[in-house]
Copies of this chain bind each other. A is one copy, B any other.
Amino acid sequence: MTDLNPVSAACVADLPQDALREVAPRYLEEPRGRWLGQAGALVLPRTVEEVAQTIRAAAEHRVGVVPYGGGTGLVGGQVCPDGPAPIVLGLERMTATRAIYPEENVMVVESGAILSDIHDAAQEADRLFPLSIAAKGSARIGGLLSTNAGGVNVLRYGNARDLCLGVEAVLPDGSVWHGLKRLRKDNTGYDLRNLLIGAEGTLGVITAAALMLAPRPAEEGTALMVVEDPRAALALLALARAHAGEGVSAFELMSGQGLRFLAETMPDLRQPFAEPPDWLVLIDLGLARGLAPAGVLERIFEEALEAGLAHDGLIAQSEAQRHDFWELREQIPEANRLIGSVSSHDISVPLGAIPDFIARAGEAIARLGDFRVNCFGHLGDGNLHYNVFPASGHDRAEHLGARDTVKATVHDLVHGFGGSVSAEHGIGRLKVEDLERYGDPAKLAAMRAVKAALDPLGIMNPGAVLRG
């Protein structure tokens, strides 16, 4: 790879002039405030041709390009703090729904489309686009695909990559790959689609995608169940799937710590139980015709009671109550933000290792000092957000010196269990060292070879995923 240049006047002259904009501060803000980005130019294209022109100009002038979707990524992949200031390429003006095929369960959208707008468009066609994350109101599909976003429905419907049948993309040489197939089966060559998905903009820019929709479940239901511990939660998951099969849309773990954080930061939010239990799960069912979710949830709860897996529970009796239960789960990240974590970890371990991991991580963190742990997340996927906070009355600022030790403690443990130190957020710039430390050497070498082959100039999102 060659050294990159700053954006020169000659480079700007080669960019699509109608798409040039003044750089606004929001493009340079890392959501957790870790660092400030920089931009030599801001391009907001409206067409794939304008994206291609931008990439060709960047290649010609050896200038970095940082693709920017909704800006919600949590690992800094969209914000470049060092090296020559790059072109920031925002996809926010490419938001069209190009086509929708309800009878095929397919929708073709441009990559600037906001996730909740895609939800709405699917619903209008009586379909479901199942990808859902807390930031759905601002995250854009191009970024969600580039980071292979996960979220709450992975258990049933898979990650972002599993919901994408084809992409249109501009490759690092400025060529356009017209890969917007809407086929369930297509074995014509290497899986370039999955290579771009999750590459975080380092191998090209996704400009449009053919998304898989699902039939809307005929009826939905939600329950909160109090469990003794994570092991009981796992057994309850198996029980729920034995009853409802793929009908289990989400199975989320929450802790008493999470409920206490909600009570502390959002006193108006209705708490489900008089005393926050140590552990509880949110179970969401979406069933085909002929099965009433509330009835199925009751049977699951009764069997769970008998088996000693659950000892209290609430089954939503209305859509409003379902919304309230989900609100608890979805406000936890905001409560965490208000409390202020010492270190946050987006990790996964094999499902069977979850109880041991939680127990051993708790012991290890306790040995490091007086911390509060809010462990919650997508239990059905083995994906936990294991976040460490100062003791009550203390401030994160007191613990900044401990951050690296806390992080290494959690990540070493995860790695020892055969887990992942980035389950759904990606590598971005924040976890490049983690990837180097925990990644398999043969895989890393192959990744570097692929990067050098597809982006020999190193212009695409320089410094993200792999060191430049």
Contact = CB atoms under 8 A, between A and B. Distances in A.
Interface of A: 101, 103-106, 147-148, 150, 154-155, 158-159, 161-162, 171, 173, 175-179, 181-192, 194-195, 197-199, 203, 215, 217-218, 234, 238, 241-247, 286-291, 296, 348-352, 378, 380-383, 418-427, 431, 434-435, 438-447, 449-454, 465
B242 A440 contact: no
A424 B187 contact: yes
Contacts of A447: 189-190, 192
B350 A288 contact: no
A207 B186 CA distance: 24
Most chain-B CB neighbours within 10 Å: which of A106, A175, A378? Answer: A175
A185 B159 contact: yes
B420 A186 contact: yes
A175 B442 CA distance: 6
Given A187-B427, A189-B439, 14 more contacts: A101-B351, A158-B162, A171-B446, A183-B419, A184-B351, A185-B382, A188-B431, A188-B434, A188-B438, A190-B203, A194-B195, A246-B288, A450-B454, A452-B453
Contacts of A243: 288-290
Most chain-B CB neighbours within 10 Å: which of A148, A183, A242? Answer: A183
Contacts of A378: 185
Nearest to A104: B351
Contacts of A422: 186-188
Contacts of A449: 453-454
Contacts of A158: 162
A404 B145 CA distance: 40
Contact of A442 (B171, B195, B446, B465): B171
A410 to B, nearest CB: 15
Number of copies: 2
A103 to B, nearest CB: 5
19 contacts: A101-B350, A103-B238, A103-B352, A104-B352, A104-B382, A105-B351, A148-B191, A183-B348, A185-B348, A185-B423, A187-B198, A187-B426, A189-B447, A189-B465, A242-B289, A244-B289, A288-B291, A450-B450, A452-B453
A449 B381 CA distance: 34
Top 9 nearest A-B pairs (CB, nearest first) are A453-B453, A245-B288, A194-B194, A186-B420, A185-B423, A177-B442, A184-B381, A175-B442, A104-B351
Contacts of A183: 348-350, 382, 418-420, 423
Given A190-B198, A383-B185, A424-B185, A454 B446 contact: yes
A450 B191 CA distance: 11
Contacts of A195: 190-191, 194-195, 450
A350 B104 CA distance: 7
A420 B179 CA distance: 11
Contacts of A155: 184
A191 B185 contact: no
A377 to B, nearest CB: 10
A443 B291 CA distance: 46
A161 B191 contact: yes
A288 B287 CA distance: 10
Contacts of A439: 188-189
A245 B246 contact: yes
B418 A189 contact: no
A444 to B, nearest CB: 7
A271 to B, nearest CB: 29
Given A188-B421, A194-B191, A382-B184, A106 B147 contact: no
A292 B195 CA distance: 42
Contacts of A441: 175
Nearest to A245: B288
A177 B382 contact: no
A33 B26 CA distance: 63
